[in-house]
Chains A and B, each alone.
Chain A
């Protein structure tokens, strides 16, 4: 196996004419780890991935793979492979020919190339499918061929562009786990683009969240979910009720006042300039209270839980409660309590 290499972006910028797709982006992907680029569509995550691949060339900054500066190298010169969103299997070539393509383009003999291809097809469990055309495979099988084709050259970095978006929901979880398994078994450096935050949290060593051409925040999945720094992040990763208000303090720790309602939040960090809290819907308790300031507006039974839409003085809030708790009917007045330490103080 070729040595997995780290990837480093140093102040990288990509402009298309007047439009900046990636602005001053710096990050590091350690060798042998799986890092996700996460963000809403148009945030620059795919451009970043293509910059790593060499399919786009940076207009500023520096890109390092291992200790080699690859900023000016084209895709064919970089030791990077990619699994495309559409899989991009060559429709006129059989499965084995698709996987052989890389070795052949790099000057291997047909025999060598075929041996390498068969080995990788066996690795991903597609032996026996060599002579099929891509159109004769299911979506999941096509995806595995795309992976085999990408790893056959044993690249120092492997890229995935939204690899699950063309699969049905059931298959997604399995393929997601397969990719993570493969990455850990072979010790690959993987950079993975997705817009699905659950997928990102599930597979990654580190998640880089992008918004509007810049990095919004990076960290481990737990970091991002539990300590989002901005409103955008709190809202984007997991579900959150954002409530504006003022922070204070009393003996119990931090307090938060939204309008005339005040909550004790417990001992949570409050950054400078914080002006709102993010409340995860499953960390809010509902108590029947005829004098409460809140009204249940709607109840939805969603199988594993009940979702309440609660009318608060500052707007609507989403609260999710487990089924084992007694259902509360719409129109009932309630009071809210926030789990101590569960609220997240955010800025912006």
Chain B
């Protein structure tokens, strides 16, 4: 009974037709002129005709199926090449300035891509699977354009002098500046350069957060506590807290006029000081925000240790302490190393805390920001610093995959494993608790400050008169004849943030989950390169991405800086790896034979994905949606470069208030954001019952980055 007719190239012909229509009717550019591609071409840019003609010829040849496949690959490949070449290097060819590319160009490029990839499949690539061919290349094209291109373009500007000419000397000079490498602080007096600072901070933050995370994990899993809800709450906090909020709270507590400082000054006559500004403050705030991540990794690892291993040790007459030392701890070590490296990388990437608390203690991320945003405006210097930051981060990731990837002890098997985990040895339990309890108190204090701070006159100066004035300033709503009027100064940024996040989240999810599907279910030549590309933006610190976007997308051919679009692109490709990893983890739980069963029943790949794979991935899809939405609302490091007066973001607005010294308004806004996101996350958890939503999922990067 079954089986439709084979593909007659209808889709390719339609694509070519759409390309032609788009070329004639749609505006070619995003910024500037609204004229169509045809108008540009007839206006003297004749080279622009070539891609659309090639697309048409290939479309007409598509009826030939496999017989003309090779020819169509060449035609569409040439078409894409010419389109891209003219877009980026057209001025070398016809001497006219580059133009911006928008909707018309995107449709033409998309059509060529669809035609070319379907021809590839017709010629037998991708196991003759057209859907996989198109999906894979579409993802590659997007990642190349929105991750690879901006980063390379931006890093290249490290080698350009102020006039834009290639100059190795300029790079050498920027790269070797003593303010970067100077290590005076290690040998004696004076401050260190920015690189030693960054590494010092990273190592300390990684070590401290791992230590604390371990203590928390041991107490939660093995401490014999009845109620571990407080730990669950702990794992939720970093998801919903914008990165600089903790720094803000620390200023309110320990700053020169802070609550504790004032108390010590008045009661014990301990003089006020600015000790919190600098390494100690940044370190404390980073450890506060990263401990939950380390906790989640280590708790996962502890759960993964089969209790029967410890029971085996005990039946062999090992005391609890000996069992812990010789069985539990060695099995835990890879996770400890993973948590440390992750803490290190997070510290390198952190921008909000050093910005608020750094003082004269400069790290790479803030230095990069000030090189672009400050009075100096020196993109070349920012790019040089970005190269160093990127190298440090990639080294850490490389260490993680090369070294830890081989060292993970997977002790969880499919079989049910009865047995009780070993309770902690008494001294260890006491030690862990004595670390955990003060830290919980500090965390509660900090979130208390944030929640209360918005409702009093000026908590930073100890003025505790209750007031709603800050919320009125930020979030006043007036009702007049024309209806509601959002007159508060923060409303604009809030609405933009919610809108951008709501648009970016589904896009992130689609591209992330599809990437995971292609990675886990299909093999093709160059898969490792595909995997590397899609994971790239995970390894790139937000500051580097921010600089890269502002440098690369400020000029044609892709001129989107200053628009809402660049914010969306930035979020989609920043958060995409999270979708990829959530998808990969979920797909590894779904038996491949389900896909194959669908295929043998006559369903094409597209149908299989829609009817079998995606329904089974629902939890991962929802987790990715929530994560990317929430992360888009809390991110600051990349977005601070891209937000403008018109398209301002909540976090950027808050940071600006902090820099202007308007702490109460910043705190009020932060508390509102935290409550809003708490409502979103809890609401969705309530609806779908999915609890595993994390900024960094519990399956640490080791799992996915080292998996293949």
A53-92: CB near B (< 8 Å → 1, else 0) gives 1110100000000000000101111111110111011111
Q: Give the contacting residue for B603; candidates A2, A85, A101; CB below 8 A.
A: A101
Let me know if B280 is at the binding interface, CB within 8 A. Answer: no
Let me know if A149 is at the binding interface, CB within 8 A. Answer: yes
CB contacts under 8 Å to B, within A91-106, are: 91-92, 101-103, 105-106
Distance, CA A57 to CA B3, complexed state (A): 19
CB contacts under 8 Å to A, within B315-330, are: none
Q: Give the contacting residue for B4; candidates A90, A101, A102, A107; CB below 8 A.
A: A107
B251-279: CB near A (< 8 Å → 1, else 0) gives 00000000000000000000000000000
* B2 and A106 contact, CB distance less than 8 A: yes
B1-32: CB near A (< 8 Å → 1, else 0) gives 11110100000000000000000000000000
Let me know if B615 is at the binding interface, CB within 8 A. Answer: yes
Let me know if A154 is at the binding interface, CB within 8 A. Answer: yes
Distance, CA A133 to CA B396, complexed state (A): 47
Asked whether A81 and B6 contact (CB < 8 A) given A88-B591, A92-B616, A153-B1, the answer is no
Let me know if B644 is at the binding interface, CB within 8 A. Answer: no
Let me know if B602 is at the binding interface, CB within 8 A. Answer: yes
With a cutoff of 8 Å between Cβ atoms, the chain B residues found around residue A150 in the complex are 600
Stretch at the interface among B121-129, B138-146, B551-559: B121-129
* B1 and A82 contact, CB distance less than 8 A: no
* A74 and B128 contact, CB distance less than 8 A: yes
B583-594: CB near A (< 8 Å → 1, else 0) gives 000000001011
* B616 and A101 contact, CB distance less than 8 A: no
With a cutoff of 8 Å between Cβ atoms, the chain A residues found around residue B607 in the complex are 105
* A74 and B129 contact, CB distance less than 8 A: yes
* B3 and A106 contact, CB distance less than 8 A: yes
Distance, CA A84 to CA B601, complexed state (A): 12
Let me know if B599 is at the binding interface, CB within 8 A. Answer: yes
Q: Give the contacting residue for B598; candidates A57, A105, A159; CB below 8 A.
A: A105
- The chain B residue sitting closest to A106, CB to CB, is B2
Asked whether A55 and B601 contact (CB < 8 A) given A77-B6, A91-B616, A101-B611, the answer is no
Distance, CA A284 to CA B596, complexed state (A): 48
CB contacts under 8 Å to B, within A40-57, are: 53-55, 57
Let me know if B503 is at the binding interface, CB within 8 A. Answer: no
Asked whether A79 and B3 contact (CB < 8 A) given A74-B128, A88-B593, A92-B616, the answer is yes
Chain B nearest Cβ from A71, distance in angstroms: 11
With a cutoff of 8 Å between Cβ atoms, the chain A residues found around residue B616 in the complex are 91-92
Let me know if B597 is at the binding interface, CB within 8 A. Answer: yes
- The chain A residue sitting closest to B6, CB to CB, is A77
The size class of the interface chain B forms with chain A is 20 to 34
Distance, CA A317 to CA B597, complexed state (A): 46
Chain B nearest Cβ from A88, distance in angstroms: 4
* A80 and B127 contact, CB distance less than 8 A: no
Asked whether A102 and B601 contact (CB < 8 A) given A84-B596, A88-B596, A91-B616, the answer is yes
* B127 and A57 contact, CB distance less than 8 A: yes
- The chain A residue sitting closest to B604, CB to CB, is A76
Let me know if B312 is at the binding interface, CB within 8 A. Answer: no
CB contacts under 8 Å to B, within A260-308, are: none
* B602 and A76 contact, CB distance less than 8 A: yes
- The chain B residue sitting closest to A91, CB to CB, is B616
Chain A nearest Cβ from B168, distance in angstroms: 42
Chain A nearest Cβ from B153, distance in angstroms: 36
Let me know if B612 is at the binding interface, CB within 8 A. Answer: yes
- The chain A residue sitting closest to B590, CB to CB, is A91
- The chain B residue sitting closest to A57, CB to CB, is B127
Distance, CA A225 to CA B597, complexed state (A): 34
Q: Give the contacting residue for A81; candidates B3, B600, B611; CB below 8 A.
A: B600
* A90 and B127 contact, CB distance less than 8 A: no
* A57 and B593 contact, CB distance less than 8 A: no
With a cutoff of 8 Å between Cβ atoms, the chain B residues found around residue A77 in the complex are 3, 6
* A154 and B1 contact, CB distance less than 8 A: yes
Asked whether A57 and B602 contact (CB < 8 A) given A77-B3, A153-B1, the answer is no
> Among the interface residues A75, A89, A91, A101, which one has the most CB atoms of the partner chain B within 10 A?
A75
Q: Give the contacting residue for A53; candidates B4, B127, B591, B600; CB below 8 A.
A: B600
* A72 and B593 contact, CB distance less than 8 A: no
CB contacts under 8 Å to B, within A122-181, are: 149-150, 153-154, 159
Asked whether A106 and B598 contact (CB < 8 A) given A86-B591, A101-B611, the answer is no
With a cutoff of 8 Å between Cβ atoms, the chain A residues found around residue B612 in the complex are 90
With a cutoff of 8 Å between Cβ atoms, the chain B residues found around residue A78 in the complex are 600
Distance, CA A2 to CA B601, complexed state (A): 15
* A82 and B596 contact, CB distance less than 8 A: yes
- The chain A residue sitting closest to B616, CB to CB, is A92
A195-228: CB near B (< 8 Å → 1, else 0) gives 0000000000000000000000000000000000
- The chain B residue sitting closest to A108, CB to CB, is B1
Chain A nearest Cβ from B321, distance in angstroms: 44
* B599 and A2 contact, CB distance less than 8 A: no
Distance, CA A311 to CA B555, complexed state (A): 89
Asked whether A101 and B127 contact (CB < 8 A) given A76-B603, A86-B593, A106-B1, the answer is no
> Among the interface residues A77, A86, A108, A150, which one has the most CB atoms of the partner chain B within 10 A?
A77
Chain B nearest Cβ from A11, distance in angstroms: 19
Asked whether A102 and B2 contact (CB < 8 A) given A74-B129, A85-B593, A91-B616, the answer is yes
* A2 and B1 contact, CB distance less than 8 A: yes
CB contacts under 8 Å to A, within B438-495, are: none
* A76 and B599 contact, CB distance less than 8 A: yes
Distance, CA A91 to CA B605, complexed state (A): 19
Distance, CA A85 to CA B596, complexed state (A): 12
Distance, CA A159 to CA B593, complexed state (A): 14
Chain B nearest Cβ from A99, distance in angstroms: 10
Q: Give the contacting residue for A153; candidates B2, B4, B591, B596; CB below 8 A.
A: B2
Chain B nearest Cβ from A107, distance in angstroms: 6
Distance, CA A81 to CA B596, complexed state (A): 10
Distance, CA A149 to CA B594, complexed state (A): 13
* B597 and A82 contact, CB distance less than 8 A: yes
Asked whether A102 and B602 contact (CB < 8 A) given A2-B1, A74-B128, A77-B6, the answer is yes
* A80 and B1 contact, CB distance less than 8 A: no
- With A86-B593, A88-B593, A154-B1 given, name 4 new contacts (CB 8 A): A53-B600, A80-B600, A89-B597, A105-B603
A-B CB contact pairs (8 Å), 30 listed = A54-B600, A55-B596, A55-B600, A57-B127, A74-B128, A74-B129, A75-B600, A76-B599, A76-B600, A76-B603, A77-B3, A78-B600, A80-B600, A84-B596, A85-B593, A86-B593, A88-B597, A91-B616, A101-B598, A102-B601, A102-B602, A102-B603, A105-B604, A105-B611, A106-B2, A106-B601, A108-B1, A149-B601, A153-B2, A153-B602
Which residues does A use to contact B, with CB under 8 Å?
2, 53-55, 57, 72, 74-82, 84-86, 88-92, 101-103, 105-108, 149-150, 153-154, 159
6 smallest CB-CB distances across A and B, nearest first, come from: A102-B601, A105-B603, A106-B2, A88-B597, A88-B593, A75-B599
